[in-house]
Structure 1
Amino acid sequence: MSEKDQVLIALVSCGSEYAGVQKELENAASTLNAKLVYPEMDVASLDTIGMDFGLEVASPDLKLMMARAKAVVEGVAKVDGVFVTSCFRCAEAAIVRNEIRRYIFQNSGLPVISYSFTERTTAATLLTRLEALTTIARRKHLLAREHQVGITAGIDSGSTTTKAVVMKDDEILGEGWVPTIKVLESADSALQQALDQAGMKREDLQAIGTTGYGRLLIGEHLNSDLVQEEITLNTKCAVYLAGKQQGSATVIDIGGMDNKAISVQDGIPGMFTMGGICAGASGLFLEMTSKRLGVEIT
Structure 2
Amino acid sequence: MPLTYGKEKVKIAQISCGTEWSGIQPELDKAAELVNAEIFFPEASLEEIELGVEKLGFSPASHSLRVMLGQAIALENYRDVDGILLLTCFRCAEGSLTRTVLRKYLQSRFNLPIISYSFTERTKAENLLLRLEALSNIIRRRHLLEVKRQEGVSLGIDSGSSWTKAVLMEGGEVIGFSALPTTDTLDTALKVVEKAVNGAKTRFSVGSDPVGVTGYGRHLLSQKLRAKIAMDEITVCAKGATFLTKHFSGDTTVIDIGGNDNKAISIHDGIPYNFSVGGVCAGASGRFLEVTAARLGVSVSELGELALRGDPNNVRMNAYCIVFGIQDIVAALAAGARKEDVAAAACFSVAEQFFEQQLQEIEVRPPIIEVGGTSLNRGLVKAIEKVVHFQVKVPPYSQFAGAVGAAVLASNA
Higher mean alpha-carbon deviation, 100-109 vs 1-10, is at 1-10
Q: SS of 1:234's equivalent?
A: helix
* Equivalent residue letter for 2:67: L
| Structure with a larger share of its residues in helix | 2
How far, CA to CA, are the matches of 1:202 and 1:43 in structure 2?
63
1:99 to 81, 98, 101: 101
| Contact 1:150–1:206 under 8 Å retained in 2 | no
User: How does 1:13-162 map onto structure 2 within 5 Å?
Assistant: 13-72=16-75, 74-162=76-164
Task: Give 1:45 shift.
Answer: 2.0
Change (3 A) 1:47 1:75: closer
Task: Give 1:43 shift.
Answer: 2.3
How far, CA to CA, are the matches of 2:69 and 2:279 in structure 1?
23
Higher mean alpha-carbon deviation, 151-160 vs 169-178, is at 169-178
| Structure with a larger share of its residues in strand | 1
How far, CA to CA, are the matches of 2:272 and 2:6 in structure 1?
25
Q: How far does the alpha carbon of each residue in 1:161-200 deviate from its partner, in whole angstroms, 9 at most, with x for none?
A: 0111111121111111110011111111111111011134
Q: How far does the alpha carbon of each residue in 1:25-50 deviate from its partner, in whole angstroms, 9 at most, with x for none?
A: 00000011110011122222212322
Q: How far does the alpha carbon of each residue in 1:48-87 deviate from its partner, in whole angstroms, 9 at most, with x for none?
A: 3222222111111111112212233x25253111111111
Q: SS of 2:123's equivalent?
A: coil
* Equivalent residue letter for 1:198: A
2:325 corresponds to: none
* Equivalent residue letter for 1:120: R
Matched, 1:262 2:297: no
Greater than 4 Å deviation, 4+ residue runs: 1-4
| Contact 1:211–1:230 under 8 Å retained in 2 | yes
How far, CA to CA, are the matches of 2:187 and 2:272 in structure 1?
31
2:232 to 222, 229, 232: 229
1:181 corresponds to: 183
Q: How far does the alpha carbon of each residue in 1:238-289 deviate from its partner, in whole angstroms, 9 at most, with x for none?
A: 1111121111000111111111111100100001111121121111222221
* Equivalent residue letter for 1:261: A
2:193 corresponds to: 191
Change (3 A) 1:232 1:2: closer
* Equivalent residue letter for 1:130: L
Task: Give 1:202 shift.
Answer: 4.2
How far, CA to CA, are the matches of 1:165 and 1:123 in structure 2?
31
* Equivalent residue letter for 1:7: V
| Contact 2:157–2:165 under 8 Å retained in 1 | yes
How far, CA to CA, are the matches of 1:106 and 1:44 in structure 2?
21
How far, CA to CA, are the matches of 2:104 and 2:51 in structure 1?
19
Higher mean alpha-carbon deviation, 1-10 vs 79-88, is at 1-10
Q: How many residues align?
A: 297
How far, CA to CA, are the matches of 2:232 and 2:49 in structure 1?
37
Task: Give 1:4 shift.
Answer: 4.9
| Contact 1:27–1:123 under 8 Å retained in 2 | yes
Structure 2 residue runs without a partner (length 5+)? 305-376, 379-413
Structure 1 residue runs without a partner (length 5+)? none
| Contact 2:49–2:71 under 8 Å retained in 1 | no
* Equivalent residue letter for 2:88: S
Larger radius of gyration: 2
Q: How far does the alpha carbon of each residue in 1:132-161 deviate from its partner, in whole angstroms, 9 at most, with x for none?
A: 110011000000011010110010000000
Identity rate of aligned residues, in percent?
44
| Contact 2:254–2:266 under 8 Å retained in 1 | yes
| Contact 2:52–2:72 under 8 Å retained in 1 | no
2:330 corresponds to: none
Task: Give 1:218 shift.
Answer: 1.0
How far, CA to CA, are the matches of 1:276 and 1:77 in structure 2?
33
* Equivalent residue letter for 1:117: F
| Contact 1:248–1:264 under 8 Å retained in 2 | yes
Q: CA RMSD in A?
A: 1.7
